[in-house]
Amino acid sequence: MPTDGPADPAGPGPLATAWYVVGGLLAVGHLVLPFGPMHDVAYVAMAAGAFGLGVAALVRHRPQPRRPWWVLVGGIGAWLVGDIAWAAAEDVGRGPSFPATADVFYVAGYVLFIVGLVGLSRRRRGEGYLEAVLDASIVGTVSGLLAYVWFVAPAWAEARSGSWDLVVELCYVVFDVILVARVLHLARVEAGLAPPTRLVGLAFTAVLVGDLLRNVAGRVPEVAEVPHALDTWWLLGYLLLGSAFVHPALHALGTRDETRRPDQLGVGQVLTLCGGILVLPTVLLVEVLMGREPDVVAVVLASIVATILVGARLALLARRMRRQAEALRRVASTDGLTGLANGPAFAAALRARLGAGGGSRVAVVLVGLDRYTEITDILGYRVGDGLLRAAAERVRECVGPDGTAARLGGEAFAVLVDVADDEDALAWAGRIRAALATPFTVHDIEVTVDALVGMALAPDDGFDVDELLQRADVAMVAARNRTERVARYTGRMSANGALTPHLATELPAALAAGQLVLHFQPQVGVAAGTVTKVEALVRWQHPVHGLLPPAAFVPAAERTGLVRALTRQVIDLALAQAARWRAEGRPLAVAVNLSAHDLLDPETVTRVRDALDRHGLPPEVLELEITETMAMVDPERSLAVLRGLALDGVALSVDDYGTGYSSLAYLQRLPVQRLKIDRSFVAGLVTDRASAAIVRSTIELARHLGMTVVAEGVEDDVTLVVLREMGCDAAQGFGLGRPVPADQLLDLVGLVEERVPRVLHRARPVGNRVV
Ligand code: C2E
Ligand code: CA
Ligand code: CA
């Protein structure tokens, strides 16, 4: 069943096929048939075919715009009548006179074609239109001069005055020049566009070639003698016009989105413009070489016009390039998906804002959409992208003209606003969250998102673009664990582990860059009140976040196994420091914390040995701390490592004793000499009887097993005195001395050794006081 739906653009329809076959046969017939009625019939049939197809196509497809297409078909009709009149006159034997009835229709046809072509290209007005007009005018000027010099002027010279022949011939030349310009204009304006329009352009190009040959034939008899030299071109014109009308894309004309090729400054364009100008002097040269009288006035006039036009054209080109550069800049600073500023643009805005100074503070507000990954996983990327676009729109509206909104990538947005104080900043965070709280409807799906907001304020939280962004990011991560889902950056954030995921990736470089430093905390002998050992505690001197405690990065290092490299470095630093103190006459031993990874790695033994050798230290200078839990991971392997270390003479201690599940009986199997009682028991020693009982029995049992005991977390003198009463060997804690950098340790040791013996000797615990 035939349908009237749009023709398949992939291939010609049956009508098109018929036209190609019939048109082809007519063309061949016209070429091979001898001059005479049949020959003329073939020619006229081709014209009639093009005309008929035009009418049928326009009625059926109604291409947009309609009127120019009808005018074009009218032109074909006029030429058809002209052809019939011409053939009739010829066949009647009178021979066509010039001008003849046919010329009236031909002239009318030209007028209609020109009007039609103007109409076809007019609707493209806008970007690039003026350039196209100028290009057409330049071509018109140059071809006009050529036509004048080679056809018009000679015809004028030969003509009898008042001759109609001359008028008609001049008409054709003028029309041809206009047609050249119109076809070129159409080609420029329609570049890359609909095939039917392009076929029309080709058809008139063929007609123009025929016209040119006819004009040449008037001057060069050899051309006139070639059979079908001219009318074949016109016939081709009809064939192409008919093809335009049967083209399957005709019905879609004007209905689709037309994307224009940008006007680029190509080498071709520059050469064409230069070539256009060069034609003019070349004409003079040719005329002189041919011994003709040069048409100086005409050439000079045309040159002036063409130069002005080319100048205007170049000016437009320069303007276009400027605009393109601007557009490029815009694109480079815009996020393609949402149209917001992108990361680099945001950083630039922040930098400019920081540079401008001013009284008020600046808030960098990062907004993340929680659960976004799950949303895209379940609903797909189309919904995800739609959601980002909608969220961006709300953020943009919320911020308004007072601030900058950007998308940094993924589901992270950033806002830059001036704020008066912390409350003002929090109010902004609340407004942004509120704006995103209303459910989104994306592709008919209702999506609710929860926004996380992290903020960093300048100058309070940093002065530097990267620093502020990173700190706002830290705050955003922290916001996830808060009920209000908003967090302002604080220095403590790095300590609470919020940074860990970021820092883990930076840690290898930090190790290589020597950013790890050690602080040392004294262990005090309870009997004498002297310091003989210090615990080395690692810190990360981070270039952005400052001094980071081990809780911020050691757990991450343990997860990745990087902790082995960390331990190696800590042992090295600790031994280097011990060697320095020894050289200064203070032979302090150092305790270093191991990790489970070290305990499972047989190489640990040789590494420790090598480190001691490297620093020229006896093994008893080093103590290694392990926890019960570590030793339980793989008891056999751990035992092997511990035995190796013990055999070398390195001291071993059990850290955080009491927090694990192992019994002392089990620990006895390990070659450890010391127990460090966890500070959770020590802290409650004075007030809590259960803690006191645990500490007391642990000390007794340990002594029984031949181990010494260190109490951790001693925060006051009462606890110290109670520990002495219980027979504890050593104590460590803030109450005795906090961990300090190496250069402050000897001073601290001096203070401790001055104060603690006095406390121990004079004091007696009474209740929770020392008297
Ligand atoms: P830890 O081995 O139990 O180290 C003692 C921790 O308790 C230190 O915290 C110290 O500053 C703190 N501390 C000392 N006295 C007191 C006190 O009186 N009261 C309170 N509340 N705390 C006290 P720091 O330096 O933050 O180290 C925390 C943990 O990080 C360490 O616990 C240790 O498990 C780990 N760590 C530290 N340095 C290293 C290292 O070089 N390698 C490995 N693998 N872990 C380390
Ligand atoms: Ca420890
Ligand atoms: Ca401990």
pLDDT one-digit tens code per residue, 623-632? 999 998 788 7
Distances (CA, A) of 284 to 12, 157, 173, 202: 49, 18, 20, 31
Give the ligand 1 atom nearest the CA of 570.
41
CA 181, chain centre distance (Å): 44
- Cα(506) to ligand 1 centroid in Å equals 22
- Global pTM? 0.47
What does residue 766 show for φ and ψ, rounded to 5 degrees?
-130, 115
CA distance 163 to 155: 11
The pair of structure tokens assigned to 542 is 């981070």
Reduced to 3 states (helix: H, G, I; strand: E, B; else coil), residue 579 is: helix
Which of 342-346, 423-427, 605-609 is the most confident on average?
A: 605-609
Q: What is the DSSP string of 679-701?
A: HHHHTTTTT-HHHHHHHHHHHHH
Tell me the sheet residues that pair with 455.
365, 488
- CA 744-749-755 angle, to 5 degrees, is 130
- Cα(543) to ligand 3 centroid in Å equals 28
What residues does the ion ligand 3 have nearby, CB within 5 Å? 655-656, 712
Q: What is the DSSP string of 251-267?
A: GGTTTSPPPPPP----H
- Cα(676) to ligand 3 centroid in Å equals 7
Helix (H) or strand (E) holding 446, with range, is strand 445-447
Tokens 């706002």: give the residue: 472
CA distance 656 to 281: 99
Q: Residue 418: which pLDDT band, with cuts at 50, 70 and 90?
A: very high
**pLDDT value for 565:** 94
The pair of structure tokens assigned to 101 is 């009835």
Cis bond before residue 65 (omega within 30° of 0): yes
**pLDDT value for 765:** 64
Q: Residue 764: which pLDDT band, with cuts at 50, 70 and 90?
A: low
CA distance 183 to 175: 12
**pLDDT value for 259:** 46
CA 91, chain centre distance (Å): 73
pLDDT one-digit tens code per residue, 577-589? 999 999 999 999 9
* DSSP-derived pairing of the beta strands 622-627 and 589-593: parallel
Radius of gyration, alpha carbons of the chain: 47
Ligand 1: residues within 6 Å at CB?
Answer: 521, 537-538, 549-551, 554, 563, 567, 570, 593, 595, 655-656, 679, 713-715, 732-734, 739
* DSSP-derived pairing of the beta strands 440-442 and 445-447: antiparallel
Given a cut of 50, whether residue 473 has pLDDT beyond it is yes
* Ligand nearest to the backbone CA of 659: 3
CA 264, 267, 271, 274 torsion-angle sign: positive
CA distance 100 to 275: 39
* Ligand nearest to the backbone CA of 737: 1
763: left (phi over 0), alpha (psi -120 to 50) or beta: beta
Tell me if 135 sits within 8 A of 191, measured CB to CB.
Answer: no
Tell me if 46 sits within 8 A of 54, measured CB to CB.
Answer: no
**pLDDT value for 629:** 79
**pLDDT value for 718:** 93
What does DSSP assign to residue 561? T
pLDDT one-digit tens code per residue, 214-228? 888 877 777 777 777
pLDDT one-digit tens code per residue, 497-548? 444 456 777 888 999 999 999 999 999 999 999 999 999 999 999 887 778 8
- CA 457-462-467 angle, to 5 degrees, is 105
Cis bond before residue 99 (omega within 30° of 0): yes
pLDDT one-digit tens code per residue, 95-113? 445 557 888 899 999 999 9
By most ligand atoms within 8 Å of CB, the mutation choice from 520, 533, 537 for ligand 1 is 537
Tell me the mean pLDDT in the region 719-723: 95
Give the ligand 1 atom nearest the CA of 714.
18
